[in-house]
Amino acid sequence: MTFSQTDREETPTLRTRDLRFRWSPADPWLAFPDLTLAPGTNLFLKGPSGSGKSTLLSLVCGLAAPQQGLIEVMGQDLGQLSRGERDALRANHLGVIFQQFNLVPYLSVTANTLLPCRLSAGRRDRTDPTPDAEAKRLLSALAVPSRLWSKPVTQLSVGQQQRVAAARALIGAPRLILADEPTSALDRENRDRFLELLLTLAGERRTSVLFVSHDDTLARHFDQLTTLGDPA
């Protein structure tokens, strides 16, 4: 599954329409607002607990299939893709920053950053000029000291681990980054600095960002704001 530069510019990175989902027949339906995210733009998604923020991210990254409505990522209708095709789309074109970061504890900072390139030939081929060089450039841009690059991530502070997770998400020029409340453990100064670095680096690569949080004060950093309501 490949996309030309023209395709990337003309096709929304993400588009949803009339989307509804529930995990089981006993659960209430979650109804989601229609979203359109152009290449290189970013969106802040807020909502109370139970409104479906994490569920929406699961749907967008292809871990769950839509039951009603439409999700398109890079012009691909996820409802028409097999699980394997959704997995390939995620590996090749999406970067994910989890709330708990999900770094591999026994791997070094550099090895964690390079993981997407090991899982996806497309991500590896899009590094500039090599995966190692891009990993170093991203870690430097995200203010991770070079003396830490060969150390296990368990020896880093929470803020440093968060920046490694961001470098991992950005490597190999993904078209969409999904961020699930990754700043919840940071103080305000480090949180704001992290967001500015993340959005600046994503904008340079024309990577779109969908950022989920319950913290309204973060909205000022983003191009768009959407609020999820209570469960239907």
Q: Which domains does the chain have, with CATH numbers?
A: 5-227 (3.40.50.300)
For position 185, what pLDDT does the model report? Answer: 76
What tokens does 226 get?
């959407």
For position 50, what pLDDT does the model report? Answer: 80
Q: Which helix (H) or strand (E) holds 109?
A: helix 109-119
> Strand pairing of 14-21 and 30-31?
antiparallel
Report d(CA 28, CA 176) in Å as an integer.
29
For position 113, what pLDDT does the model report? Answer: 98
Q: Which helix (H) or strand (E) holds 138?
A: helix 131-141
For position 100, what pLDDT does the model report? Answer: 85
For position 81, what pLDDT does the model report? Answer: 93
Exposure pattern of 196-220 as b/e (b: 16+ CB <10 Å)? ebbbebbeebbbbbbbbbeeeebbe
Percent pLDDT > 70 in the chain is 95
Contacts of residue 201, defined as CB under 8 A and 6 or more positions apart, other chains included, come to 138, 141, 142, 166, 170
> What SS3 state is found at 51?
coil
pLDDT tens digits in sequence order for the chain, 232 residues long = 444 444 445 799 999 999 999 989 999 899 999 999 999 999 999 988 888 898 999 999 999 888 999 999 999 999 999 999 999 999 999 999 988 899 999 999 999 999 999 999 999 999 999 999 999 999 999 999 999 999 999 999 999 999 999 999 999 999 999 999 888 777 888 888 889 999 999 999 899 999 998 888 899 999 999 998 754 4
For position 3, what pLDDT does the model report? Answer: 45
Which residue is it, tokens 């490949």? 2
pTM: 0.89
Contacts of residue 200, defined as CB under 8 A and 6 or more positions apart, other chains included, come to none
